[in-house]
Amino acid sequence: MKKSSLYEYKNYKQYILDWMEKTPLQGRGQRKLLSEAIGCQTPFITHVLAGDYHFSPEQAEATARYLALNENETEFFILLVLKQRAGTKTLENFFAKQISKQCEQHAVLKKRLNISDTMSIENQMIYYSSWHYAGIHMAILIPELQNVQSLTKYFNLPTNRILAVLQFLTDHQLIEKKGTAYKVKKSILHLEKDSPFLTQHHSHWRLRAIESVQMNRSENLHYSGIMSLSKDDYEWVREKLGILLEQVVERIGSSKDEKLASICFDLFQL
């Protein structure tokens, strides 16, 4: 069963209800099973989920175990319970800040996508100086683009530029040469959130996106929009986009290398 992301929620009761809805028989019998798991009567579960009653911290922890939440999710779930149990606005705000911090940490893509490979500052300075390095690096995953001639034709770049990029990628163990063909040795790199090269990286591919818009190819997808929304909905949209990116990364991990594409996600406050 695919779980909803807990970090989308501000109300622990709604998370439980949605979780139950996705179980076999759409949650039928789940309230009884949950009551047995946390040591209470079934009517109490109903009172909590439909009324003003709340789980105790102990019941919250037991519920998290029943829902098979990991350690970080359990901590977040208990914070949601404590926030809703808070008897004063000051205490409620305290837990709200803790929840926001947890959401921020969860939003860090390096943690979400389990990316650990990095390059030295000196090598990053070169790699992220132009889109050519990342573009050619990823293109070599495609069998038809694993030699100098095909890369030169595909990217419409001078041969000496292609060779220079290939040499850099080879020297730093990102690709290797086998005969006249090149193979990728390491495909995933990551820039820290505070990296001085992050702006360059984003700028390169957004400029390429602008070029793609101008070409107006029907197979491409471009969308730009301005919206007004609540703070909670802003966080919801950000979380949804993060979940989608997780799903994309998971799917393409075993995808056949046939097309070279760029994906740019942008959600920001004006």
* Domains detected in the chain: 6-107 (no CATH), 121-184 (1.10.10), 198-252 (no CATH)
pLDDT, position 130: 93
pLDDT, position 2: 47
pLDDT, position 141: 93
Determine the Cα–Cα distance for residues 241 and 226; give it in Å rounded to an integer.
Answer: 16
**Interacting residues of 242 by C-beta distance below 8 A, sequence separation 6+:** 106, 107, 109, 112
**Interacting residues of 226 by C-beta distance below 8 A, sequence separation 6+:** 270
pTM greater than the 0.95 cutoff: no
Give the chain's residues under pLDDT 70.
1-4, 108-118, 193-194
**Hey, what are 129's tokens?**
């100086």
Q: Residue 183: what residue type?
A: K
CA-based nearest residue to 180, from 153, 149, 154: 149
pLDDT, position 121: 79
**Hey, what are 171's tokens?**
């020297």
**Interacting residues of 125 by C-beta distance below 8 A, sequence separation 6+:** 197
Residue 23 sits at φ, ψ, to 5 deg, of: -80, 165
133: how many CB neighbours lie within 10 A of its CB? 22
